[in-house]
Structure 1
């Protein structure tokens, strides 16, 4: 809870974590010269002698944002990413109905329904991708000048499909390295010729651990306990190494650029499923730091096992972790 006015600037936090995938009721009240925060009916934080009562001092204009802030994050007392990924319902601002909402994004393009239950991870619904500039990722070069290698670790859950999990590509060109699902197989490809294939386990699996490594001599794919490897050509390795160290390409998650209207469509479709963890050269990727992320992607929320599709509830609104709408308040379940 942050307060900034003519009297004081203060930021306070406390209490238990509420990013547990469950619904919580949050209430913020300005009573006299105190601001009170209640969680699930219990008083959690109280700040006294910091403000005047809002309703006792009419404003010509008041702006209310939900799911983000209307000021730059750098202007906060403690700078932080304020974009929320989660669901809100049963909104009530200043004891007023929601009929006065203006400038909201709740009915706009990319609006999502809410899952009955969620857990941690990034959900790709099969219609969007995220990309990272290679210049912002670790080079993989060591201080003792050992030979360069690339390591990608992914924990994922998905049903059999044709979809791109990950790809390394120069600009809008075909990928140099790709990792994708081909029905019941995981397929890794380097260049035009080197291809590794490993079958998905039979039956339901909550999450599969995958490790893809490329060094100067071979391409290796670890899928659970199974390991496959293939010798690679020097030219294939050098093309990947040069691109990565130049920082001029991009790393794609969940699909490839131009899918649907370019020849890249032949490389695969958008991935549908959950990426629970993505590490590249040892760095955990955060989708909030992506150069681009489709609004279709849930950055920090994956559906529960019973929720393979979107299941909306009257009055629920999904906030995708990329911005704010401008109306009311409510409860919030969100891993962030």
Structure 2
């Protein structure tokens, strides 16, 4: 997937082209020992890597550019993330396409001009959308599904120049300091692109990853845990309300989960709370200190409320199916771990302060809420094997 832009006579000519870049059936090594990838196949943008580092990139001589239009298809439930980056003059002039709140966002820097524009329909509905980027006179035009358009026009008063040299392209990240952008965003993108056509070029792209991750044929909203890692938050980011209650809600098919769903550790103490699914026994076990509650795993929603003197568990929507755990004298209060502790989704926190975990979860949490607000795992310290916004359906 590529966006191309360069300057030509008459002011700024932004020649952009976004493409679906897909892996071939198998990545091939090049002379530098890096994997080469080709356009046209389906590729997952959430590949394991540093969150700002592009998943793939290429460099092309400007003299080889013949096309000023490209198209690709994008599918995601993720409201935010980097899609494409391009630059000339080794990063002095650059272009970034991303999503923000599910809406396309273009940011462009050239000479004395820095501009950003966002608009169009929300694209994070889990459906395939066709995007086409082209240059039309002094405008860069992003077209979505053949009709919705986002346009940005730029014209510099500086003397025009004929660009020579190289154009750098990158997918899923950027090659400049993120502080140079007008609008800051989270770069991780849990999404897929396919059926790309870019610049009519056949040069290969390079990727630093060792393993190429596939895209699932069908997806649903949620957070998918592959059994290899977990997501950690400081509990201080979840404020305790005036009524001294912390409410945690989890949605999903608990009968298809296996491993630690949730664990909490107070500062300097052992694990004080754990919620674990066992696919062999078909039970979900909740442990708080020495107290333990085992439940049949047939429910689809679990609500856990932490209060000063008790902990309550609700299954599905039926509050009659409620079990209260009373506090034991040797325990700290039920709200103690929520004051400066650690909370992990998808794994059991370690005993030390390094938070090395175990008993990782395999399965899909369709929705996670704390204090009535959706939890975005992209804001956590997490293992890259976790798909924050989609699960295989």
Shared fold (TM-score greater than 0.5)?
yes
Residue of 174, 185, 192 corresponding to 2:283: 185
| CA RMSD of superposed structures (Å) | 3.0
Provide the rounded CA distance (Å) in 2 between the counterparts of 1:74 and 1:94: 29
Pair 1:129-2:230 in alignment: yes
Provide the rounded CA distance (Å) in 1 between the counterparts of 2:192 and 2:254: 23
Residue of 336, 339, 343 corresponding to 1:251: 343
Provide the rounded CA distance (Å) in 2 between the counterparts of 1:70 and 1:258: 36
Q: Which residue of structure 1 lines up, in the alignment, with residue 111 of structure 2?
A: 6
Provide the rounded CA distance (Å) in 2 between the counterparts of 1:90 and 1:51: 35
How far residue 78 of structure 1 moved from its aligned partner, in angstroms, is: 2.5
**Structure 2 counterpart SS, 1:234:** coil
Identify if the C-alpha distance between structure 1 residues 257 and 190 changes in structure 2 by more than 3 Å, giving closer, same or farther: closer
**Structure 2 counterpart SS, 1:229:** strand
Identify if the C-alpha distance between structure 1 residues 155 and 72 changes in structure 2 by more than 3 Å, giving closer, same or farther: farther
Provide the rounded CA distance (Å) in 2 between the counterparts of 1:236 and 1:133: 21
Residue of 131, 138, 143 corresponding to 1:33: 138
Per-residue deviation, residues 21-78 of structure 1 (Å, max 9, x unmatched)? 12222222234432121223446123334479xxx94343433221233344443222
Q: Which residue of structure 1 lines up, in the alignment, with residue 310 of structure 2?
A: 218
Residue of 248, 256, 260 corresponding to 1:152: 248
Contact 1:27–1:37 (CA under 8 A) maintained in structure 2:
yes
Residue of 97, 116, 132 corresponding to 2:202: 97
Provide the rounded CA distance (Å) in 2 between the counterparts of 1:257 and 1:214: 19
Pair 1:112-2:218 in alignment: no
Contact 1:3–1:11 (CA under 8 A) maintained in structure 2:
yes
| Larger displacement relative to structure 2 (88-97 or 220-229) | 88-97
**Structure 2 counterpart SS, 1:12:** strand
**Structure 2 counterpart SS, 1:135:** helix
Per-residue deviation, residues 162-212 of structure 1 (Å, max 9, x unmatched)? 311100024796410111213322221101x211222122xxx7xx22111
Pair 1:235-2:330 in alignment: yes
Contact 1:165–1:271 (CA under 8 A) maintained in structure 2:
yes
Q: Which residue of structure 1 lines up, in the alignment, with residue 165 of structure 2?
A: 60
Q: Which residue of structure 1 lines up, in the alignment, with residue 49 of structure 2?
A: none
**Structure 1 counterpart SS, 2:201:** coil
Q: Which residue of structure 1 lines up, in the alignment, with residue 54 of structure 2?
A: none
Contact 2:347–2:360 (CA under 8 A) maintained in structure 1:
yes
Q: Which has the higher contact order (CA 8 A, sep 6+)?
A: 1
Segments of 5+ residues of structure 2 without an aligned counterpart are 1-105
Count of paired positions = 277
Provide the rounded CA distance (Å) in 1 between the counterparts of 2:203 and 2:350: 39
Structure holding more strand per residue: 2
Residue of 27, 37, 44 corresponding to 2:149: 44
**Structure 2 counterpart SS, 1:115:** coil
Provide the rounded CA distance (Å) in 2 between the counterparts of 1:242 and 1:200: 28
Per-residue deviation, residues 105-131 of structure 1 (Å, max 9, x unmatched)? 4x435x421011222211112222110
Provide the rounded CA distance (Å) in 2 between the counterparts of 1:42 and 1:98: 30
TM-score, normalization by structure 1: 0.72
